[in-house]
A and B are shown apart, each in its own frame.
Chain A
């Protein structure tokens, strides 16, 4: 059974539903405080990152997000867990960062990480939504990955899924003047995984794209495809009863999130 480390610090707040999501697809998840991995916990609670098969960074407001979303959690991880984390990733073990988790991956330099496992400086940033507000709303995502990403191996290219969004800082920001080059490069490397779309599966503006991200990019992976970061919440879409329109009719009890989590738990 796949062991999943659901990593948290103060202010991480989506660990319960992330736990439930992995549990539902038959994995063995555990909520682990960063201090349990770094030896700063009672003996019986200490854990080793390398004992886990999958690492999940759930959503929330880690350490309050008072500086830049995810920055503090990332700094603490880098300082105390950097080498292990690099090994975990290079060994191809699946890593997912959802919402604040995605912001942490970006701050860690794990996303987009074109040429190296973990860049010394963040190469992109997740910036304040164009609306300048926190946006809690359902979002439709088109799966645009051509096959590199392990997390989406259960989805077909062009499939549209509903994962809800809830964030204030989800606008993917590239260095000034390099937006097109970054987008092209992400696409060449098959690193773009999800794009915000409308009901017809077409790229569309607000509110379909809740934050104004260029290219409607909602989620990206590393070139190897084992590390996925996305703003919307697949763990909030595990049954159809999480859907905004479920009372308007939809078949079966399953939600789209199942296909994402099953893909990595079912491997080997």
Chain B
């Protein structure tokens, strides 16, 4: 079917069409939505038609494209908003200073920090290097436009299994290729802009084969009086577009992100992947933060999804204004970019500033010093309409209240019954020595040093606790990193990730809760008190009730724990449609948590410190093997997914923080994948020292459960010499003595005995495998 007769070309010397929605049949409306790349439903097309019928004219292509951007799942959260409002947005805390493009939290009396995480999944599945790099670029802008200097990047990634001989379906790229591309993209962009990559995670599962997940988080620091608004100050403010030029790259990025991937995505959507330029970004950050510090701007917002079409509307509307923009003044990368493309392009490295007219010349001078383009393209006006002008022609004139009032759906969902303890099928296990080595080799547990050391995690010189911890050139894994962002203060900010897609797949509610528990455990392990969380919620197609049910339950679990612990979630991101022909990605809520360290000089690392140190297990171990690393590795089925006792979590955090401040803790590592056994092995590897362990005090449980159960809210702690009794008393019955640091083997009574080198060799095998 042709829809050409609905496209009315205007008699002007540039390319613009009006779209005759009035005479279009329903089938033609659908065809329009698909041919023009709008990703709008028929119902949404009807709503738009009604609006223009009221106005009494048909829309231009610029207008129609603009509404499609604003109403995409990516921009308006139409399927998730109701669920998020109920569970996440409603957690209030006096330390939340702003909820803008990034959340802003109080750091100390003079400083605040900004945090945000988002996904760049679909672009990375098509073009891993560029997708990941521009993901970094986007999250940096979210933090910068709050007026904050980025100080840390965090990159949790999910891929299919990295086996060399894996067969992948048509249109899907091999996980190893994606992994290499993504890590290189993060490395080349993050290292070039000079922001350390301090935390993350790489998760492997066959359900990510056609749906890799690339989440990117950023934390920034600002003086409190430098926190900016994301909107114009008032009528007459000039709109200054700065940074990169605008081109055809990144057209329809948000509508592309709001649909499933198909085998044809590569061909059809290559243009939706933006091109990154860190060496434009780096001076743009300098210039933006400089003019902000100089008090020259009234507001700032980054150009991300939807490009100019989203940023102009939101900046004007939130400032109680309308806007007039001269679209033909936007600096272009190439000739012949037509008005609607300029309006929705997602070309990278661009920021929009609002400023009083008299401050414009100085701002332009500052950008010129850095050789960064900056152009006045419009101004804020009375009212709530945005008008776009190209030459002398008005190409767009719309009421912001209509454009930004995107649909909000309460889509149907179904809640699944979680698996129960009764249907547990314990796997056949080899000897425990071999089980241990096999788990250490498992790509989800094995060392990620290969990636970590390609990222500069120390630039800015404020990473006081690093992602790898222990003896130099023999480090083990850390649970969290700690930044010391203010030169004159010992106060620190812990940064950690919590994510367990396997729990979430089997039991979304417990999975959501467990993610919060994990991020808290990780922060506490280094001596940081959990303070805020930003979440990236990666799920399947929300139009399918079971996927939305998973989403709803996971969010409910996250919200439940955060509310009771009083941990706000001041920013976040939802990524739906992580589906491809091969199936749906694991439901993956990724949490980036921040914690306050009162004095970084009291921080603790995971590596065992000294011969004779007393080892304790903190927290209760239950028979919770469901979705455990052991079951995944050796084919166990069913079992209870670890539950979270929120009161116990809260109490444990308090006791652990007190013990750490009192200097009782020499080393600490949380128990997660692989349980107590893997935690102990990793602590030995980092400290290059063994331990002699007896797990009988853990209670009446089978040895395999003691070793590998992944019950939440647990840590292995090495207590400083002479403080054993103090620690045991302080922990109020939550800690049991399980052994002593000694020798060069990890030996567990009635369990296994492994030498340090054997464990290290197994744990570092992933690097060898990836080459």
Contacts and interface: CB of A to CB of B under 8 A. Distances in A.
Interface in B591-606: 600-601, 603-605
A16 B603 CA distance: 24
B279 A41 contact: no
A17 interface: yes
Contacts of B369: 33, 35-36, 40-42, 45
Nearest to A240: B601
Contacts of A136: 452-458
A133 B192 contact: no
A234 to B, nearest CB: 10
B456 A134 contact: yes
Contacts of B464: 241-242, 246
Interface stretch (A58-66, A151-159, A215-223): A58-66
Given A42-B369, A64-B279, A135 B192 contact: no
Interface stretch (B324-332, B409-417, B465-473, B650-658): B465-473
A40 B370 CA distance: 10
A133 B459 contact: no
A60 B194 contact: yes
Given A42-B369, A241-B601, A244-B475, A13 B193 contact: yes
B461 A238 contact: yes
A137 B473 contact: yes
B351 to A, nearest CB: 15
B278 A64 contact: yes
Contact of B461 (A63, A133, A236): A236
B747 to A, nearest CB: 23
B279 A63 contact: yes
A242 B459 CA distance: 11
B605 A247 contact: yes
Contacts of B457: 136
A164 interface: yes
A141 interface: no
Contacts of A17: 459-462
Looking at A35, A45, A244, A249, which has the most chain B CB atoms within 10 Å of its CB?
Answer: A244
A242 B461 CA distance: 7
B547 interface: no
A267 interface: no
A249 B371 CA distance: 47
Given A236-B458, A241-B484, A248 B607 contact: yes
A164 B453 contact: no
Interface in A158-177: 164, 166
Nearest to B464: A241
The B contact surface, by secondary structure, is: loop
B460 A208 contact: no
B647 interface: no
Given A10-B371, A11-B192, A241 B278 contact: no
Interface residues of A, number: 46
Interface in A62-79: 63-66
Interface string A121-164: 00000000000011111101000000000000000000000001
Given A35-B369, A64-B192, A10 B282 contact: yes
A199 interface: yes
Contacts of B603: 247
B193 to A, nearest CB: 7
Contacts of A42: 365, 369
A84 B226 CA distance: 38
A65 B194 CA distance: 13
Contacts of A51: none
B461 to A, nearest CB: 4
B71 to A, nearest CB: 37
Interface string B432-464: 000000000000000000001111111111111
Interface in A228-251: 233, 235-236, 238, 241-242, 244-249
Given A136-B456, A166-B459, A208 B473 contact: yes
A243 B465 CA distance: 9
Interface string A184-212: 00000000000000010000000110000
Looking at B453, B469, B604, which has the most chain A CB atoms within 10 Å of its CB?
Answer: B453
Contact of A248 (B279, B465, B471, B473): B471
A164 B459 CA distance: 10
Looking at A10, A11, A136, which has the most chain B CB atoms within 10 Å of its CB?
Answer: A136
A137 B453 contact: yes
Interface string B469-509: 11111010000000010010000000000000000000000
Given A241-B601, A244-B466, A248-B607, A33 B194 contact: no
Nearest to A58: B194
A25 interface: no
Given A199-B472, A248-B607, A134 B194 contact: no
B187 interface: yes
B472 A245 contact: yes
A59 B282 CA distance: 14
Given A20-B487, A137-B473, A14 B454 contact: no
Given A14-B459, A244-B469, 13 more contacts: A10-B371, A17-B461, A61-B192, A61-B279, A133-B454, A134-B191, A134-B455, A136-B454, A137-B473, A166-B458, A199-B472, A236-B458, A247-B469
Interface of A: 10-11, 13-14, 16-17, 20-21, 33, 35-36, 40-42, 45, 59-61, 63-66, 133-138, 140, 164, 166, 199, 207-208, 233, 235-236, 238, 241-242, 244-249
25 contacts: A10-B280, A14-B194, A14-B460, A14-B461, A17-B462, A35-B371, A60-B192, A64-B278, A65-B192, A134-B191, A134-B455, A135-B454, A136-B452, A136-B454, A138-B472, A208-B473, A233-B458, A241-B601, A242-B464, A244-B472, A245-B470, A245-B471, A247-B607, A247-B609, A249-B609
The 10 A-B pairs at the shortest CB distance, nearest first, are namely A13-B194, A17-B461, A64-B279, A10-B283, A236-B461, A247-B605, A61-B192, A166-B456, A241-B464, A134-B454
